[in-house]
Amino acid sequence: MPQGMDRFDAATATPGSTTAGDGASPQHGPGTRGAVWARLSDAAVAYAAADGPRLALAGVNLVIRRGEWLALVGPNASGKSTLGRVLAGLCPLSRGRIEVPDGPDGRPAYARIVLQQPDAQIVGATPWEDVCFTLEQSGVAAETIAARARQALADVGFLEMAYRPVDHLSGGQKQRLCIAGCLAVDPQAVVFDEATALLDPLAQQRVMAAAAHLAQKGAAVIWVTHRLEELAPAQRVVALADGRVVFDGTPASFFYGGDGGPEHTPCARLGFSPPFAVQVAWHLRARGITVPGAPILPEDLAVLAEGVVAR
């Protein structure tokens, strides 16, 4: 086992014995929405650099739950990808602990990960072959593989392309294929590391819909992004700066909290420009117009405008 990575052991777990989160413990078994998937305690990662160790994560405490959509934001080099890789079991900790439950195969159920460049994650010559291979590698019983592959490809609207050569797929289609692989193995958690950065708006929507499907099925979705309108479906926003958690709350409090106008919100304090709809809402409020709720997307504003016209 890599140094610094602790496999969660339900037999010896003592909830509340660490300083992380709410002291809840990761759950074994199929798990329900809301059950704890992972707990990070004082997690730190130091990379070797020419001028000495570089701290990419510096003492992160976090509890992540099944079915939760957690958006991870922060400036460049703040540690988002490093945290995603830690959650995926791809990056050992230099200090602290990560606890995840065992999967059905008895191995730690780290998150699966969908990257910006999906090519490195695809091994099959066709989508069908690729998803079947993922299932085989995950130890799924041979007699169930075909049915699960078919269902997963159908879930991302990919059944008609099941036998198309992977080389003929677009970047967005490859992303959806990676997600089909995730859906097929029914993971406890999936990290999307800027998975939509290279996609057109339609492909972006499809990938987000597939991620929502995963969350509905009870997986934790960790959504790393620079596109702040993508915070809309999240229940929770975690912001990093210099490897530390500097905000952990709802999208509404990220864009509208701070009690001091638009320049004092957590979003503004991180130096980010909020989505257009948030800016419009703040401008309306500055003119004394009541804007109920916390609109993030243009359609949220449109709903409010409908109410005004109806009156």
Q: How far apart are CA 278 and CA 38, in angstroms?
A: 32
Q: How far is the CB of 75 from ligand ATP (least distance, A)?
A: 7
Q: How far is the CB of 193 from ligand ATP (least distance, A)?
A: 8
Q: Which is nearer to ligand ATP, 120 or 310 (CB)?
A: 120
Q: Which is nearer to ligand ATP, 54 or 264 (CB)?
A: 54
Total residues at the site for ligand ATP (CB under 6 A)? 11
Q: Residue 118: enclosing H or E segment and its boundaries? A: none
Query: For tokens 């992972």, what's the residue?
Result: 38
Q: How far is the CB of 91 from ligand ATP (least distance, A)?
A: 8
Q: How far apart are CA 39 and CA 99, in angstroms?
A: 5
Q: Which span (71-79, 136-144, 178-186, 283-291) binds ligand ATP, by CB under 6 A?
A: 71-79
Q: Which span (75-83, 123-131, 205-213, 231-239) binds ligand ATP, by CB under 6 A?
A: 75-83
Give the residue among 99, 80, 285 at the shortest CA–CA distance from 193. 80
CA 126, 130, 132: angle at the middle one, nearest 5?
120
Q: Is 77 in the site for ligand ATP (CB under 6 A)?
A: yes
Q: Which is nearer to ligand ATP, 56 or 63 (CB)?
A: 56
Q: Which span (16-24, 60-68, 70-78, 291-299) binds ligand ATP, by CB under 6 A?
A: 70-78
User: Site for ligand ATP (CB under 6 A): which residue of 39, 80, 112, 148?
Assistant: 80
User: Site for ligand ATP (CB under 6 A): which residue of 76, 160, 168, 259?
Assistant: 76
User: Site for ligand ATP (CB under 6 A): which residue of 18, 25, 41, 81?
Assistant: 81
Using DSSP, state whether 300 is helix, strand or coil.
Answer: helix
Residue 165 is encoded by which pair of tokens? Answer: 């050569």
Q: Is 79 in the site for ligand ATP (CB under 6 A)?
A: yes
Q: Which span (21-29, 36-44, 74-82, 205-213) binds ligand ATP, by CB under 6 A?
A: 74-82
Residue 4 is encoded by which pair of tokens? Answer: 């610094």
Q: Is 120 in the site for ligand ATP (CB under 6 A)?
A: no
User: Site for ligand ATP (CB under 6 A): which residue of 26, 74, 251, 295?
Assistant: 74
User: Site for ligand ATP (CB under 6 A): which residue of 41, 82, 188, 204?
Assistant: 82
Query: For tokens 């020419």, what's the residue?
Result: 50
CA 74, 77, 79: angle at the middle one, nearest 5?
70
Contact flags string 29-68 toward ligand ATP, x per CB under 6 A: ------------------x------x-x------------
**Burial call 148-182: b when 16+ CB within 10 Å, e when fewer:** bbbebbebbebbebbeeebeebeebbbbbbbbbbb
Using DSSP, state whether 134 is helix, strand or coil.
Answer: helix
What's 137's DSSP letter? Answer: H
Q: Which is nearer to ligand ATP, 79 or 89 (CB)?
A: 79
Using alpha carbons, list the distances in angstroms from residue 89 to 31, 232, 259, 303.
Answer: 20, 27, 39, 42
Contact 86/45 with Cβ under 8 angstroms?
yes
Footprint on this chain of ligand ATP (rule: CB under 6 A): 47, 54, 56, 74, 76-82
